[in-house]
Amino acid sequence: MSPPDPPREESVLRPPDAPARIDYERALNPQQLAVARAGGGPMLVIAGAGSGKTRTLVYRVAWLVENGVPAQAILLLTFTNKAAREMLHRAEALLGGAVTVTGGTFHHAGLLALRRHGHAVGLPRGFTIADRGDAADLIGTVGGEVFGKKEKGLPRGEVLLDIVSMAANTGRSIADVVEQRHPSHGDLVGEIERIAGIYAHRKQSLGIVDFDDLLTLWLRALKENEDIRLEYQRRFAWVLVDEYQDTNILQAELVDLLAGGHRNLMVVGDDAQSIYSFRGANFANILRFHERYPDAKIFKLEQNYRSTPQILELANASIARNRAQHAKELFSAQPPGPRPLLVALPRPEDQARYVAERIRNLAAGGLPPDDIAVLYRSHFLSMELQMELARRKIPFEVRSGMRFFEQAHVKDATSYLRIDTNPKDELAWKRVLRLLPGVGKVTADRVWAGVCASADPVGDLAEGRVGVPKGSVAAIRDLGRALATVRSQRDNPCGQLEAVLACGYEQHLQDTYENAHARVQDLRTLASYATRFPGTGEFLSELALVSGGAEGDVARDGTPEKKIVLSTVHQAKGLEWAAVFVIWLVDGRFPDQRALGEGGEEEERRLFYVAATRARVHLELCLPVMAREGAYGGVIQRQSRFLEELPAWLTTPVDVRGDSSRPGGRRPETGAGEDDDNRWMDGDSDWS
């Protein structure tokens, strides 16, 4: 991760016996140095891809602390919890001791704030967080209740949530969002508004907050209560925001409020990497920062430590097509490497075979498998490749699609704990009830009604005091007992999960799934992960807010085996690999057809830019020439516009024709040196 050019922290830091002193001049280039040692006041840092942004932020934190800023006075807002953790660890290493900087995502900070001040906006103690799926279920249910199932045209829960969420995150009206994103539902605006109102109410009464609430309620608490606002402004005299290009209006407003008193605000970002507008991110936040802060100092980090000049040239040429951006030109600090390959293959299966074969070659040439990645626009585009890799027994790790914590068995098991921390959590109750044999929607509703009416629902269920259909009496009683056991382990999330397994859930998994063993294993791993939390509430909140399955701790099998990485471009942000394959560069896939709305093309191009700049040395851009499209057998695909608009000399074309039974073609089995490999990559286009 750290660029090779400036010396690493450790070597600079600790001459034996000498007190730790940080040599900023040696560790940073002049642009980085200016950022790290800037004074107070608002500042905007435009940090190009691979320009040592994280490093600079880490040194900035260190510099502040060394110059007398108490670490507790620093607030570091990042895009993922992982990024925050990494920075804090590195700052700690640099300063040679614990650093009590507060850091995390906006949502995480919102959660902490609401745990403390939630009462100010009407939140009950011990509220639970509904993830995206839960929230969609809930609002869908509300929609069904309000208009009956017969209302045909009523959008599904996911769509409803999408609308409501987008409205919340962009500060626009529901009517506005519907008109722009779901014009087909234009005649239902009134209904949707009503549903949104009831949904908000329902969350309140169930003690549930969704992701958006973590921001909107926090913001409300700050806006409406001067004492709370002042408390935060005093406590966090220095505010640092990473990935500012992906903040939305709510987040920008939060930042403005938090930094409102002291104005020691530093935002860091790269407008060329803004790729979250679908989530309400507002590109204008970074483009127009100086309008809100006319006195802001602007810094740029343009020296790229990651990629070869060849890769950077390609990325620069692509992004130059975008109009809306801060002017900047990245230049490489790396020695030249092979030109990126442009590989056209007949069909998706050939593409999969080609990539698998190339991966084998690169690995045989000495490249560690975990330094190789395959990136794609959408998760489902990785299916053929996954099958191909599995067939060849090449170990891989998928960092897209269903996340660990969204898998059915994880949600099932944690629902028991959610009931324990928040007995009003309707979603958790219904989820658990529906697991029981003979219990469907109707019975679940009936039991839930009983639960609502009861002062001690768990006891009533265990004693059979809730009226249920004959067929499920025993199952429901067992559930009551299971919940009682879970309750007996209160605030021991690990023990609670074990209890869930022991009280029948393990049996349920065995009866239901082919891969029951792996799922039980997952839950055991989760249970041991849970031991690090002081209570069940903390554990559950953390689960809802963790990003992705890439959190090392909870990998399905604890094997440290080096695996190649398959990832969406979105999830690859901030990461890098020696070799990167971008697949499915077909117009309509990447760029994605549905994303090509207004302003969509530029965002897709930024996405392509992000993909290309993940590569250090090898970059291969792949596409199938022909692919199935719906019912049609083979349709000729137009190559991605992002490839067409590139000057030809930037890439080396590789045309892999026809039904080669040996998709590997010629390969460098001999002397697996890097030279060898480069030569092979550069010239070789005779594949058939």
Partner DNA sequence: CTCAGCCTTCTTTTT
Partner DNA sequence: GAAGGCTGAG
Segment 349 to 378, residues that bind DNA, using CB under 7 A: 377-378
CB 436 to DNA: min, Å? 8
Interaction between residue 107 and DNA (CB under 7 A): yes
Query: Residue 163 — φ and ψ, nearest 5°?
Result: -65, -50
Phi and psi angles of residue 79, each rounded to the nearest 5 degrees, phi first: -85, -35
Task: Give me the phi and psi of 409, to 5 degrees please.
Answer: -70, -30
Task: Give me the torsion for CA of 157, 160, 165, 171, rounded to 10°.
Answer: -170
Site string for DNA, 198-217 (x = CB under 7 A): -------------x------
Lookup: tokens for 62: 């260190």
What angle is formed at CA 412 by the lines to CA 407 and CA 415, rounded to 5 degrees?
Answer: 125
Binding of DNA at residue 396 (CB under 7 A)? no
Among 278, 448, 513, 680, binds DNA (CB under 7 A): 278
535 binds DNA (CB under 7 A): no
Would you say 203 or 377 has its CB closer to DNA?
Answer: 377
Rounded least distance, CB 147 to DNA, Å: 13
CA distance 175 to 162: 13
Instruction: Give burial (CB, 10 Å; 0-12/13-18/19+) of 194.
Output: middle
Total residues at the site for DNA (CB under 7 A)? 45
Residue 4, Cβ neighbours under 10 Å: how many?
A: 10
x-marked contacts with DNA along 586-615 as a string, rule CB under 7 A: ------x-xx--------------------
Under the binding rule (CB under 7 A), the answer on residue 534 touching DNA is: no
Nearer to DNA, 251 or 652 (CB): 251
Bridge partners of residue 209, in order along the sequence = 129
Find the part of the chain contacting DNA (CB under 7 A) among 69-77, 201-209, 236-244, 568-576. 568-576
Using the rule CB under 7 A, is 508 a contact of DNA?
A: no
- Please tell me whether residue 170 binds DNA under the rule CB under 7 A: no
- Least separation in angstroms between CB 57 and DNA: 18
Angle subtended by helix axes 426-434 and 473-488, to nearest 10: 130
Asked if 156 interacts with DNA (CB under 7 A), we say yes
How many whole angstroms separate alpha carbon 255 and alpha carbon 275? Answer: 20
Q: How far apart are CA 272 and CA 361, in angstroms?
A: 33
Q: Binder to DNA among 402, 452, 518, 635 (CB under 7 A)?
A: 402
Residues 49-78 that bind DNA (CB under 7 A): none
Contact 45, 266 (CB under 8 A): yes
Q: Cα(237)–Cα(69) distance, rounded to whole angstroms?
A: 9
Selected binder of DNA within 197, 469, 535, 664 (CB under 7 A) = 469
H-assigned helices in 148-287: 157-170, 174-181, 189-206, 211-224, 226-235, 249-258, 284-287
- Smallest distance, Å, CB 563 to DNA? 18
> Does residue 108 touch DNA according to CB under 7 A?
yes
Q: Looking at beta carbons only, is 276 or 283 nearer to DNA?
A: 276
* Closer to DNA by Cβ: residue 408 or 672: 408
Q: Which is nearer to DNA, 35 or 526 (CB)?
A: 526
Angle between helices 441-453 and 426-434 (to 10 degrees): 130
Per CB under 7 A, the segment of 93-101, 438-446, 448-456, 524-532 that binds DNA is 438-446
Window contacting DNA (CB under 7 A); options: 19-27, 190-198, 432-440, 487-495: 432-440
Q: Which range binds DNA by CB under 7 A, 41-49, 303-311, 348-356, 440-448?
A: 440-448
Nearer to DNA, 180 or 488 (CB): 180
* Interatomic CA distance for residues 235 and 75, integer angstroms: 9
**Within a 10 A sphere around the Cβ of 291, how many other Cβ atoms?**
9
Please report whether residue 438 would count as binding DNA according to CB under 7 A.
yes
Q: Looking at 236, 238, 276, 305, which residue binds DNA (CB under 7 A)?
A: 276
Smallest gap from residue 293 Cβ to DNA (A): 25
DSSP state, residue 505: I
24 contributes a contact to DNA by CB under 7 A: no
Determine the Cα–Cα distance for residues 458 and 465; give it in Å rounded to an integer: 10
Task: Say how far apart CA 386 and CA 515 lie, in whole Å.
Answer: 18
* Pairwise CA distance, residues 50 & 477, whole Å: 58
Report residue 94 as tokens.
């640099």
Q: Pick the binder of DNA from 98, 327, 442, 455 (CB under 7 A).
A: 442
Asked if 439 touches DNA (CB under 7 A), the answer is yes
CA distances from 69 to 73, 140, 453 (A): 7, 49, 54
Interface residue list for DNA (CB under 7 A): 79-81, 105-108, 132, 140, 156-157, 211, 275-276, 278-279, 377-380, 383, 400-403, 437-444, 469, 472, 545, 547-548, 568, 570-571, 592, 594-595, 630
